[in-house]
Amino acid sequence: MAELKHFDSTVDVKTITDTLEKDGALILDNVVSADFLAALRAETDPYMEATSNGADDFGGRLTTRTGGLVMRSEKCRALVMDERILEPCNAFLGPYCEKVQLHLTQIIRIRGGQTAQPIHRDRWAWGTRLAHVEPQFNTIWAITDFTAENGATQVVPGSTKWPDNAEIKPEQITQAEMRAGSVLIYSGSVFHGGGENRSSSDRIGINITYTLGWLRQEENQYLTCPPELAKTLPRDLQALVGYSMGQYALGYFTPPGAPGEAPEVVPPEYALGIESNGSSLGDYNALEVVQNAVKSN
């Protein structure tokens, strides 16, 4: 059985991306402190406790999944924007997009008695049509310790290039055992799944994932973070949530209103009261990048 590699939180970006390419997953140990986790739980536990168990076997009938974390928790916003995650994220997904975007925020609580989740790939959110690209850079932050007994995430190291219908054998599966405050980083192509919780306590993790700027997000950030709320966020987080062009001519809109009341075509940040510095269809430099890529091919 292949084991997941563990690294210190100061590990360089290339080591992270190279390990993801080879193994599909890795763990950064002790990234945030116990005090940080306590403050995060003070913000998020009320929402988690109000969340019902799942209604199907895949989501987990003894598992709760609580989203909307960008607007609900300042500490979760810090996790989303952590440069130790964003730098390797941009490097890993950069070959496939002009910019990345936030895909999903979710507290996953696996209760005692929950059986193991079926092994799957997260990129299947878009069906099986993305085998030619890597669409995701994913994290699960350990809010409690992750152990073999309490349902530490199952991972199949080295499976990123396997066919979608690969038969996963038990001896090919390992578990992402880690201390609270550590983070599992994994790609959208690696086979994985929630573990079985054979303990009497909850296993709690926060799933924060990123994807290519030209794909539909799993968690609809525009409904979770509507303009009247999103305008309170820092600009770089607004852009990551999706209030920016995905690339040239991708994401503009026409504001509602009477004739001539507003510009006809504007970028998403206009909804937050931010004037555009580029053309109505986006930053012309982004168009040049695409045009140059076409010429080079």
pTM of the full structure: 0.94
- Determine the Cα–Cα distance for residues 190 and 25; give it in Å rounded to an integer: 7
Which one is predicted more confidently, 295 or 131?
131
Same domain, residue pair 96 and 208: yes
Q: Could you tell me the pLDDT band of residue 288, with boundaries at 50, 70 and 90?
A: low
User: What residue type is 194 in one-letter code?
Assistant: G
Q: Is the dihedral of CA 148, 149, 153, 155 positive or negative?
A: positive
- Residue ending a domain, choose from 169, 187, 212: 212
- Determine the Cα–Cα distance for residues 252 and 138; give it in Å rounded to an integer: 27
Length of the chain measured in residues: 297
Q: Could you tell me the pLDDT band of residue 285, with boundaries at 50, 70 and 90?
A: low
Same domain, residue pair 208 and 255: no
pLDDT at position 70 is: 98
pLDDT tens-digit readout, 143-186: 999 999 999 999 999 999 999 999 999 999 999 999 999 999 99
Q: Could you tell me the pLDDT band of residue 283, with boundaries at 50, 70 and 90?
A: low
Same domain, residue pair 130 and 183: yes
pLDDT tens-digit readout, 68-112: 999 999 999 999 999 999 999 999 999 999 999 999 999 999 999
- Determine the Cα–Cα distance for residues 62 and 282; give it in Å rounded to an integer: 45
62 CB-near residues (< 8 Å, 6+ apart): 53, 54, 110, 111, 112, 113, 114, 197
Same domain, residue pair 255 and 206: no
Q: What is the total count of domains within the chain? A: 2
Query: In this structure, is residue 295 part of a structural domain?
Result: yes
Kindly tell me if the per-residue pLDDT of 291 is higher than 70. Answer: no
- Determine the Cα–Cα distance for residues 275 and 269; give it in Å rounded to an integer: 7
Q: 264: domain range?
A: 247-297
Query: In this structure, is residue 85 part of a structural domain?
Result: yes
Q: Provide the percentage of residues in the chain whose pLDDT is more than 90.
A: 88
Same domain, residue pair 17 and 119: yes
pLDDT tens-digit readout, 108-143: 999 999 999 999 999 999 999 889 999 999 999 999
- Determine the Cα–Cα distance for residues 227 and 222; give it in Å rounded to an integer: 8
Same domain, residue pair 74 and 201: yes
Q: Which residues pair with 192 in a beta bridge?
A: 120, 155
Same domain, residue pair 160 and 275: no
pLDDT at position 275 is: 80
Burial of 35 (0-12, 13-18, 19+ CB in 10 A): exposed
Q: Could you tell me the pLDDT band of residue 248, with boundaries at 50, 70 and 90?
A: confident
Same domain, residue pair 166 and 270: no
Same domain, residue pair 156 and 278: no
pLDDT at position 194 is: 98
Same domain, residue pair 132 and 270: no
Same domain, residue pair 47 and 113: yes
